[in-house]
Structures are given as structure tokens and as C-alpha cells.
Amino acid sequence: MATLIGSIVVFLLVVLLHEFGHFFVAKKVGIRVNEFSVGMGPKIYQKKKGETMYSLRALPIGGYCAMEGENGESQDPRSFEKAPILSRAMVVVAGAAMNFVLALVAFFLALLLMGTPTNIIGQTMDKYPAVEAGLKPGDQIIEVNSFKVGSGKEVTEKISHATSVDLTYKRDGQIRKVKLETKTENNRQVVGITFQNQHNPLEALKGSFSMTLGVVVGIFSVFKMLFSGSFQTQMLAGPVGVIQVIGQSASMGIGSLLYILGIISANLGVVNLLPIPALDGGKLVFLLIEAVRGKPVDGNKEALITMAGMALLFGLMLYITIFSDLKRIF
């Protein structure tokens, strides 16, 4: 049940906020919006306000924003295709922009609930280097290998790549030093410490930007591995894998669910801007061509290219599901 509810909440928010971005900017630049729907499938409730029909539909798996002339010719002077190129580009980009906003909000709330790690030791683990070196809960680590650190995240990052570390820490107002040999665990170096958390809104805000940027950098790292030949299919997750991760996060509490919501939303924001037909990035490419040529790409050709891009995406999704998601499960 946690998996079902968590998946519905995540997919509904990620897709609905994306579509709301298109809707909001379309309204602002004067493009006619025929319908804005919460959910998909058979309609449960509809109400028209002004020129737009607002719908609630049976399947809570996102929603859509239907703009006049978006997918075909229209004589309406306020149709999507008759709007200035810059206005159309703003509408296209707005969906991904809202995904980044959602990621920031989700990460902020997650960090506010779960806390951000300070540089003060919360616990030490038995039979790990930290205990053997005499470190205790309450010790404040201020330097790792002569690098000043102000958070548990910085301490962990400095330790994770070192086989030995020189720690400078504060205990009872006194500065002390100790040298530790690290231990390899899950392909990274550890010393067996966790940190006290603080629930500071400013630190949570800073952390939300850092984590969103981290997701973006991580995606481009995957592309780098793809071209270098070090990429493995298991690094990706398809729909089955995503639902599985959402279920695990939901069972761990609202903080974990918000964290995975942020990751998925930021991922969608980046991926949607890739120059692939059928994605918003593909639409931006068509708009750029139109700006350079002075006239739009032929509608039939654009539709054919978009269908080819959609087929490619569905094929990739199926491939990842079979050779990554199902392989992990079975």
C-alpha cells in the first residue's frame, strides 16, 4: 500500500507541476488554453472558467495542459503556433523549470524534517577505526587532512576517497589530532561515525540547491560514461525500478519520500530538456530551426520525427525495464 500511495503522490506531483508550468506561462503570454486536467482517463468533474475547461479525471497519474493549435493547425490568432517564437519557447521551458522548483522544495522539506548533518559526531560504530582511535560522540571534527570542514557531508566526502586520514577535532574546548586508517565498505572508505543533525532552515535551503545541482551533474556524468564506454544498464531505472524505489522510500517515512520526489523531479527536468523529438528539448530544437529559417518546419515532417523520437523513448524504456529493473528483481 505504501508503494501504491507513494507512487501516485510522486507521479501526480511531478507530472502535474510540469504541466502547470506550461499552463501558467501560456496564460501569461496570451496563448489560449482549452483544458487543464488533473489526472488522466475518464472525467469525474469538469468546470469551465473563462475560456479554459478545468477537469478532474479518474486516473491520478499526472495531468495535461491542452493548448489551442499545439498539435495541429488552428486559425485562432491566440493559438500556440501563432504565438511569437520566444513566447512558445518560454512555454516549452516552463515545464522543466517547474520540475526544478519542485525538486528544490522537496529537498528543502526533506532536509528540514530529517536535518542536515553537522560536523559533531553523533555515534561511533564498534570495530571501526574511529572507536579504535578513541573518537567519541560529541567530538567536533574541524579538519580532515588539513582541509577545514563545517558539516558531516564534507567530512564524509573527504574520508570516502582516502586510505588514511589525519583528523583535527575539538573535545571539551581542546583541539586534538588523530591519524586513522580507513576501512573499505561499499566501494568507499569509512571510519565508522555518524553525525548529529541540525534542523536549520538556512542550511536546508543551501542543501536543497546543492542536492538539485548534484542530480543535474550526476545525469551528465552518466552521459560521460556512456561515451567513454564505462556505462552499464544497471545504472538506470525504468518504471518498475522507479516504483520499487518509491515504495522503499515511502516505507521509511515522509522525509525519504520527499527526497526521492526531489531526485525524480530534477531528473525529469533535465531529461525533458534533452534535444530529443517528443520531449520539450526536441520542441526547442524545432523552434530554433524556425527562428533561423524564418519559417516553421513542415508539420508532417515534424510529426513524423516526433513519432520516431517517441518510439525510441518507449524502446529505451522497455529495454531498461527488461535488462535493468527485472534483472535486479529476479
Grid coordinates representing 286 are 524545432
Query: What distance, in Å, lies between the first and last C-alpha atoms of the chain?
Result: 22
Distance (Å, rounded) from C-alpha 293 to C-alpha 304?
20
Count of CA atoms in the C-beta half-sphere (13 A) of 97: 12
Count of C-beta atoms within a 10 Å radius of residue 101: 15
CB 41 within 8 A of CB 57: yes
Amino acid in the structure at residue 2: A
- For 322, list phi and psi in degrees, rounded to 5: -75, -50
Whether 19 is catalytic: yes
Distance of CA 329 to the CA centre of its chain: 23
- For 241, list phi and psi in degrees, rounded to 5: -65, -40
Distance (Å, rounded) from C-alpha 160 to C-alpha 326?
31
One-character DSSP codes across 127-195? TSHHHHTT--TT-EEEEETTEE--SHHHHHHHHHT-SEEEEEEEETTEEEEEEEE-EEETTEEE-SEEE
Q: CA torsion angle for 222, 226, 228, 234 (degrees, to 10)?
A: 80
Distance (Å, rounded) from C-alpha 166 to C-alpha 144?
6
Active-site annotation, residues: 19
